[in-house]
Amino acid sequence: MLPTTEVLEQDLLKVRGLVESMAAQRRNQTANDSLVTQLSLNPESLEEAAQNLMSQASETLCLIIGERSETATAVISAFRRIAPVLAPQVTVRALVPPVTRTREALAALFPERAQVRLAMLSGLTAVVSDAKTTLVSNTPGDPSLIHNSSVATNLRALFDTVWPTAQVLDQHLRLREQSHAEELRRVLGCLQEGLIDDVAARKVSMSVRTYRRHVADLMALLGTSSRFQAGARAVETGLLPRRSTRVAARPVPADIVSRVSPECST
């Protein structure tokens, strides 16, 4: 069973607390303590450190990309350089904030071999491999290398907790990039309002059969198992506004419209 939204938020808080603890360790360390190494904000130095760390991966490589920062830019650039020479058995997963809205932009950031999902991690950027060292930045100006296997293990475990609940990139892009379809935006609005099928179908001027078909398609694309979850996920991904019954003018899947046969439309 997937974690609930509340559990996910708790895990993200744990991630942040873990990183803040690391920063405290760095501030309190003695001159002889090499547990934490603060990195220069020089782009070339950051990229080199990230690339060196990624090259140590033998089985797994997890990337957490925060909001725009020098560290996030360096990590993305380093991955693009190292991806062609990573061992074939290395599984690469990346969590990125849901702010990049086009397939072209994301393709420019990540080579195809990376599995990319969307999650907001409050500015955290990190490189976690199966090595004992991690690269972590919890603020734009504070990247560090953490040389501690337990820290790497804990951060990777938290990544694995977030991953199943993070939205699959292809689903997100299909919903954001396809041409506008007014019918489906109105269906999303009905899901958000919690209307029963008969009432919703009358509101959007279509047959109950067509409405239910749209709902099933939207639930599949949003990766949800209930209508309530579909409405909530639509809000999370920006397809619907928060705390409003107005339908947002956001792209919806044109491919769904093409699958609805003319005879079931009214």
Q: Look at residue 173 and tell me if it is in a domain.
A: no
Q: Look at residue 104 and tell me if it is in a domain.
A: yes
Q: Look at residue 225 and tell me if it is in a domain.
A: yes
* C-alpha–C-alpha distance, residues 54 and 63, integer Å: 10
pLDDT in tens, 52-96: 999 999 999 999 987 767 788 888 888 888 988 898 899 999 988
Which H or E run includes 230?
A: helix 227-236
* C-alpha–C-alpha distance, residues 171 and 116, integer Å: 11
Q: Look at residue 196 and tell me if it is in a domain.
A: yes
Q: Look at residue 207 and tell me if it is in a domain.
A: yes
Task: Return the residue matching tokens 């398609």.
Answer: 217
Q: What is the CATH number of the domain that holds 220?
A: 1.10.10.10
Structural domain span for residue 87:
5-167
Say whether both 152 and 32 belong to one domain. yes
Give the model's pLDDT for residue 208.
93
User: Quick check: 215 and 193 in contact, CB under 8 A?
Assistant: no
pLDDT in tens, 249-260: 444 444 444 444
pTM score, whole prediction: 0.58
Q: How many CB atoms lie within 10 A of CB 188?
A: 26
pLDDT in tens, 218-244: 776 666 778 888 777 777 666 677 654
pLDDT in tens, 134-191: 898 876 557 888 888 877 888 888 888 889 888 776 655 555 544 335 677 788 888 8
* C-alpha–C-alpha distance, residues 123 and 71, integer Å: 10
Say whether both 138 and 246 belong to one domain. no
Say whether both 31 and 123 belong to one domain. yes
Residue type at position 2: L
Coil, strand or helix at 63: strand
Could you tell me the two tokens for 57?
């991966």
Say whether both 109 and 223 belong to one domain. no
